[in-house]
Amino acid sequence: MLYAVTSLVYSQPPRWELLGSRIVNFNNDRDEIQVGAIEGAFTALKIQVRRGNLNMQKVLVHYKNGDVQEIELRHNFARGSESRIIDLPGNKRIIQKIVFYYDTKNRSKMRAVIEVLGRH
């Protein structure tokens, strides 16, 4: 009798971690989220928008080594939507802070909540 043995290797799905959130102010056009090394190193980011609408212009990602990456989004986020996965250059990167530039021409009077998730 002949038996075939197969082994399945399962890779774990990417682990996303909430890095922070901000409730946008109708008067401000800039917000930032402090991250830091304690959260670890990341390979990608994703932005989610809750409660209200938001027109995101760009995002600046400040890394621990002093590098700054400018990400042009130019995207109108509807309530409950999220960005594409934003790959970070190089290997895993330690993020110091993330700065958002946006406008809130919001007729619904609901203040949007920006959430940033990082992928380990």
Residue 11 in domain: no
- Rounded CA gap, 20 and 11, in Å? 27
Is 42 a member of any domain?
yes
Residues sharing a CB contact under 8 Å with residue 21, sequence separation 6 or more, in sequence order: 33, 113, 114, 115, 116
pLDDT tens-digit series, residues 25-84: 876 689 999 998 888 899 999 999 999 888 999 999 999 999 999 999 888 999 999 999
Model confidence pLDDT, tens digit, residues 100-117: 999 876 566 788 999 999
**Given this model, what pLDDT does residue 10 score?**
61
In a domain, 5, yes or no: no
CA nearest to 95, candidates 43, 29, 47, 49? 43
CATH number reported for the structural domain that contains residue 74 in this entry: 2.60.290
- Evaluate whether residue 108 is within a structural domain: yes
| Number of domains within the chain | 1
Global pTM? Answer: 0.81
Q: Residue 101's domain spans which residues?
A: 28-119
